[in-house]
Amino acid sequence: MLKVLLGHNWKRVRRSPDFQKNVAMNFIVGLIFAVLFLDILIIGLLIDRILRDVAPGEDVRTTFDGLLIYYFCFDLVSRFLLQKMHALSARPYLVLPVQRHQLVTVLLFKSVLTWFNFVPLLIIIPAFANLYVGVLPPESSAAWLMSVMSLILFNTYLSTYLRNRALVDVTAAVLMSVALAGIVGLEKFGVLRLSEISAGAFSAIAVQPAWVIVPLAGLFAVIFVNYRFLRRGLYLDRFAHLKGRQTVGSSLSFLERYGEIGALLRLELKMILRNKRPKAIIFFAVFMLFYGFLVYRDKDILGLDVFLLFAGCLIIGMFTIAYGAYMFSWESSYFGAILTKKIDPRVYLRAKYLLMMAVSTCAYLASFMYYELGVRLLIINTMIYLYMIGIIPFVLLFLSSFNKVKYDLNAGPFSQQGRTGIHYATLFIILGVILVVFVPVKLLAGSNAAFTVLGSLGLAGALIHRRIIELLAAHWRKRKYIMSAGFRQS
């Protein structure tokens, strides 16, 4: 029976829409991921040199061991937000004569088969070969590797358990983010030194390999907890109960007081918070807020204005760009119902604009955490923010009207379902819209003038946004039935 269940899983993967797309698109996506994996592997092969440059004068192994705790914290949050809930795939078997323990065993095995478990090996295996093999005794290096592998799998099953137990998925995600932010704050102010704790723990395992029993015991414990929970709670009525509970706290009824725009904003937010792919955008947008801590540390980078431009766009406009590229595709499953309502297109498009502007404003305010790096950086981010609320949303509103492929909101966040060449072309067009203004002015009058022109254009666009939306609404009226026809196709 286990062989049959695993065979069904393989057929489900092989017959998924992602495997049925055209060869050219699969080749392009595969090439992108191959380059990404190759870059990660190169980092792993050069990790000793990188750490010597980052922390000169310190022991490389100690530095690497100290950084592992940060990876595992980030990995746990990432898995919680993005990792697939395999328990839902068990529903079709619950009405069949399949032994429950076999079904649970397959679910636990499927949890291991995720890229979250394989990508870190591209760094860990080369680091293990460079920093530990031949340097430490064989039993110590083996114990270190076993402990790291155990913690990777521990995160796999802990995130699975947390997702299955979460009564309100979004609320739990917010609580985890707050807890992580609290840990980062304690680390920043010197109250808690996670790197020292992590380095000390792995050093203890290297000195006394018997301590590897601790992470192994933690792994077996979380597997047992998952097994017990799934075997006791794997019932159809439980899935229905959890599905209903996911709507708690997301009614957003306070938006109703703002009339038709409030109702449309509420519909849009509920779509984002209740579905996997839109919810992944929130994760990436929050992650990009901290992108500056990775790139602004190099003082030379602060002198590269073009790089500051792209970094600011990612920090402030990640949500706008990612959300706007699929503006109407998000609603493909109920786009026809929207057309049957008496909704003014100007109000409909303005609600989307206000959502992008509100999120960009929050991201801009969060960017003030980089105030220590200088006033000029804040001024640059201010100009980028104005451009992100006064120009880019209108470009996205126009380009998104040419998307007419139905989009599965609950597919994996990295799934290629529903993505076409138009979506990728949109990203290049947005890049061109930014550079076509910045580069010529920079060459003629300097960087300060270029950023000033960006901000001025953005401010002007924000001030006359109603007039621009009227023009976009006229274009949208011509495209709406074409989009609706495309969304109805499978």
DSSP characters over 151-164: HHHHHHHHHHHHHH
Of 228, 245, 262, the last residue of a domain is 245
pTM (global) more than 0.85? no
Closest CA to 165 of 272, 80, 254, 75: 80
Model confidence at 243, pLDDT cuts 50, 70, 90, reads: very low
Say how many C-beta atoms besides its own lie within 10 A of residue 461's C-beta: 20
User: What pLDDT does residue 89 have?
Assistant: 61
Inside any domain, residue 29:
no
Closest CA to 324 of 294, 355, 347: 355
Environment class of 330 (CB within 10 Å of its CB; exposed 0-12, middle 13-18, buried 19+): buried
H/E run at residue 142 = helix 138-165
Are residues 385 and 325 both part of a single domain? Answer: yes
Inside any domain, residue 19:
no
User: What pLDDT does residue 70 have?
Assistant: 81
Inside any domain, residue 208:
yes
Model confidence at 309, pLDDT cuts 50, 70, 90, reads: confident
Q: What is the mean pLDDT of residues 79-91?
A: 64
Closest CA to 128 of 155, 148, 153: 148
Are residues 333 and 473 both part of a single domain? Answer: yes
Are residues 351 and 398 both part of a single domain? Answer: yes
The answer, yes or no, to whether residue 384 has pLDDT greater than 70, is: yes
Inside any domain, residue 135:
yes
Are residues 207 and 344 both part of a single domain? Answer: no
- Fill in the amino acid letter for 310: F
User: What pLDDT does residue 457 have?
Assistant: 93
Give the percent of the chain with pLDDT over 70: 76
Of 206, 225, 245, the last residue of a domain is 245
Model confidence at 250, pLDDT cuts 50, 70, 90, reads: very low
Q: Who contacts 279 (Cβ-Cβ below 8 Å, separation ≥6)?
A: 81, 169, 170, 173, 272, 273
Model confidence at 26, pLDDT cuts 50, 70, 90, reads: low
Closest CA to 476 of 376, 333, 331, 367: 331
Are residues 474 and 422 both part of a single domain? Answer: yes
Are residues 335 and 422 both part of a single domain? Answer: yes
Beta carbons of 183 and 192 less than 8 angstroms apart: yes
Q: Number of structural domains, the chain?
A: 2
User: What pLDDT does residue 459 have?
Assistant: 93
Are residues 395 and 320 both part of a single domain? Answer: yes
Are residues 216 and 303 both part of a single domain? Answer: no
Q: Who contacts 292 (Cβ-Cβ below 8 Å, separation ≥6)?
A: 311, 315, 367, 369, 370, 373
Are residues 53 and 107 both part of a single domain? Answer: yes
The answer, yes or no, to whether residue 242 has pLDDT greater than 50, is: no
Say how many C-beta atoms besides its own lie within 10 A of residue 140's C-beta: 17
User: What pLDDT does residue 463 have?
Assistant: 92
> Of how many residues is the chain composed?
490
Q: What is the mean pLDDT of residues 304-322?
A: 86
Inside any domain, residue 164:
yes
What is the DSSP track for 382-431?
HHHHHHHHHTHHHHHHHHGGG--S---TTS-TT--TT--HHHHHHHHHHH
Q: Side-chain half-sphere of 461: how many Cα atoms within 13 Å?
A: 22
Give the percent of the chain with pLDDT over 90: 14
Inside any domain, residue 219:
yes
Chain segment 136-163, per-residue pLDDT in tens: 888 888 888 999 999 999 988 888 777 7
Inside any domain, residue 261:
no
Distance from C-alpha of 61 to C-alpha of 144, rounded to nearest angstrom: 11
- 133: which strand partners? 136
The answer, yes or no, to whether residue 303 has pLDDT greater than 70, is: no
- Fill in the amino acid letter for 291: Y
Are residues 214 and 311 both part of a single domain? Answer: no
Are residues 210 and 283 both part of a single domain? Answer: no
Per the structure, the complete domain to which residue 361 belongs is given by 275-488
Chain segment 273-301, per-residue pLDDT in tens: 777 788 778 877 887 887 777 777 666 66
Q: What is the mean pLDDT of residues 352-363?
A: 91
Are residues 232 and 280 both part of a single domain? Answer: no
Structure tokens at 149: 């592998």
Q: Who contacts 374 (Cβ-Cβ below 8 Å, separation ≥6)?
A: 302
Q: Who contacts 197 (Cβ-Cβ below 8 Å, separation ≥6)?
A: 69
Higher pLDDT, 188 or 425: 425
Beta carbons of 311 and 295 less than 8 angstroms apart: yes
Inside any domain, residue 254:
no
